[in-house]
Amino acid sequence: MATLRELVELARAVVDGAVEQLRERGGPDVEQQLAYDLAHGASAIETARASLAYAEFGESERAIVAAFLAIALSDLHQRVLGREDRWGVEQSWFSPFAAFVAAQRQPTVIAELAESPGDPHLGEDFAMVREHFRRFADEQIRPHAEAVHRTNGDIPESVIDGLRDLGGFGLSIPTMYGGDAVGGASEYLAMVVATEELSRASLGIGGSLITRPEILTRALLAGGTEEQKARWLPRVANASVLAAIAVTEPDYGSDVANLTTAATRTTGGWLLNGTKTWCTFAARADVLVVLARTDPDRTLAHRGMSLFLVEKDRGDSHGFVQRDDRDGKLEGRPIDTIGYRGMHSYEVSFDNWFVPDDHLVGGEAGLGRGFYFQMAGFENGRIQTAARAVGVMQAAYDAALEFARTRRVFGAPIIDYELTRAKLGAMAAVIQCSRQFALAVAKLMGDGAGSTEASMAKAYVCRAAEWVTREAMQIHGGMGYAEEYPVSRYFVDARVLSIFEGADETLCLKVVARRLLERT
C-alpha cells in the first residue's frame, strides 16, 4: 500500500488536473460549482498534507493522520462522483486510493481513536502559552459563557481586563509598540494557540475578543504611518482602545470591491456617509476600522477605497446614537443572532460623521490602498478564525466524550457502543489535523507566506466545525437540544464560522480557487 505522503501527492495531482480544467472552462466565474468543490477538496487534501509531519511523532499520531486522510479522500471522491468530466479524470481515478480508504474507514479502526485525540506536540514554549491561556479561559471565561449566551448579555469587563493582563491583545504587536511580538513564526503560533484555548471556553466572549485587535494591528503594520503605529498600537496592546471592523455592507456582503460607503474631503478631514452591517462589537469598541470609497469613480472598484480609524464613545449594546461637534451622526442598531452572543453585531450608519485627516490609514500615501491594508488584516483573521473553529470543535469533543462515558443506554455506557466510538474517533482525527494545519499555516505566515493556505484553512476547518459540533450534539441525544448542556451553544456558535471573516462561497470562489489557478 502506498505511504501517506504518496497518497497525498496523488490526490494533489488530481486537484492540479482539476485546476487546469477550471482554467480551460473559463475560471470560477463560469464554473462555480467546480470551483467551489475544488476549493474545498483542495483544502481538505492540504490539511492532510500539513499533518504529515505530525504523523512522524509515533504510531498513534500516524493513525490519526491516516484516519483523517481517508476522510479527506472520501470527501474528494464524493465531490468528483458524477462530475468526472468536469474534473478531467477517468471513472477509475479513485482506484489508487480505494484499498487505503477501505482499510482506514473500517469502524473498528476509527473507533480506536475515540479516546485518543493525540498530543498536539507544541513544544515547551507554546505548551506553556497553551497552559496559561487554558487556565485563564477555564477560570475567567467559562463561568460566564452560558449566562452570556442565554441572556444575549455583554462580555464581562473582568474578562477584558484579565485578557489584557495576560497580554492577549498584544500578541501580534511588536515590542517597540508595547506588545509581545518579536517577529517570525512565534507570534503567529502564539496567536493560534491562544485563540484556540480562548474559543474552547467560549467563541463569543473568548476567542473572538482578540480577533478585531489582530485585524487592526495587521492593517496598521501593513500601511499605517509611523505616527499612527506609535499612537494606536500601544493603546490596542493595553486594551485602552478596543476595535470593531466595519467593512461589510447590507447590499454587497462579501463583495468588498463594490462597497458604497463614501468619505468626502472637508476642512481638516473627511465626512463619512453610508451604512455598514455585521459590525461586531461596535457598541463596546472605542474605534471602528472603516473601509470607505474616497474616489467616486466606481470603475476603480477596490482601488478607489481607503481605510479610516473612526473614534467613538462606548455605547449601549442594545443600540446607540452618537453625534459629533459638527452635528454628524453615528447610529448602531443591534442584530439578534442565534449564537455567537456576547460580541453583539450591529448595522452602523454614518451621517456626515467627521474623521480627522490623521485617521486616514497611511495618510495621503494610503489613499486608494485601504482595500490592501484591510486584506492584510483579514488574512491574519482567517487563520485566527480557523483556530477559533478548532477551539469550538475541541470543546464539543470534550463534552461528547464526557457525556458518552457517563450516559447509560440499554444497560451500558454509550461509549461502549461502536457507533459512538466511531463518531468520536472521526471527530478526534478531524480536530487534530485541523489544529496541525492551523499551526503549519502560522509558521508559513511567520515567514511572510501562507496567504493562500490561511484561506484554505478557514474554508476547510470552519465547515468541519459544523460537522463535529453536530455529531457532539447528536451523541448527547435529547440533552443536546437542551440549553442545559453547553453542546447546544457550540453547535449554534460553529454555524457562524463559515459566514463571517469571508462567507464560505465567496472565499472559495474569489480567493481559494483563484489562488489555485495562480499556483499552477
Q: DSSP state, 500?
A: S
Would you place residue 330 in the very low, low, confident or very high pLDDT band (cuts 50, 70, 90)? very high
Q: What is the pLDDT of residue 235?
A: 95
Would you place residue 520 in the very low, low, confident or very high pLDDT band (cuts 50, 70, 90)? low
pLDDT score of 1 more than 60: no
Would you place residue 500 in the very low, low, confident or very high pLDDT band (cuts 50, 70, 90)? confident
C-alpha distances out from residue 326 to 289, 331, 356, 405, 476, Å? 21, 15, 12, 63, 56
Convert the pLDDT of each residue in 194-233 to its tens digit: 999 999 999 999 988 888 888 899 899 999 999 999 999 9
pTM: 0.93
453 vs 460: CA distance, rounded Å: 10
* Residue located via cell numbers 480557523: 386
Tell me whether domains 124-237 and 243-370 share a fold.
no
Q: What is the pLDDT of residue 302?
A: 74
Q: What is the pLDDT of residue 466?
A: 97
Catalytic residue from among 249, 379, 453, 501: 501
Q: What is the pLDDT of residue 13?
A: 96
Could you tell me which residues are beta bridge partners of residue 28? Answer: none
Domain ranges of the chain: 4-105, 124-237, 243-370
51, three cell numbers: 499533518
For residues 59-77, give the mean pLDDT: 97
Q: What is the pLDDT of residue 446?
A: 86
Active site residue 20: no
Convert the pLDDT of each residue in 243-269 to its tens digit: 999 998 887 766 666 788 999 999 999
Would you place residue 441 in the very low, low, confident or very high pLDDT band (cuts 50, 70, 90)? very high
C-alpha angle with apex 64: 59 to 65, nearest 5 degrees? 95
The fold for domain 124-237 equals Butyryl-Coa Dehydrogenase, subunit A; domain 1 (1.10.540)
Convert the pLDDT of each residue in 75-119 to its tens digit: 999 999 999 999 999 999 999 999 999 999 999 999 999 999 999
Query: 162-186 burial string, b = 16+ CB within 10 Å, else e?
Result: bbbebbbbbbbbbeebbbbbeeeeb
445 vs 286: CA distance, rounded Å: 29
126, three cell numbers: 507554546
Q: Which overall architecture, per CATH, does domain 243-370 show?
A: Beta Barrel (2.40)
CB 305 within 8 A of CB 371: yes
Contacts of 301 (CB under 8 A, 6+ apart): 257, 258
Could you tell me which residues are beta bridge partners of residue 253? Answer: 249
105, three cell numbers: 474507514
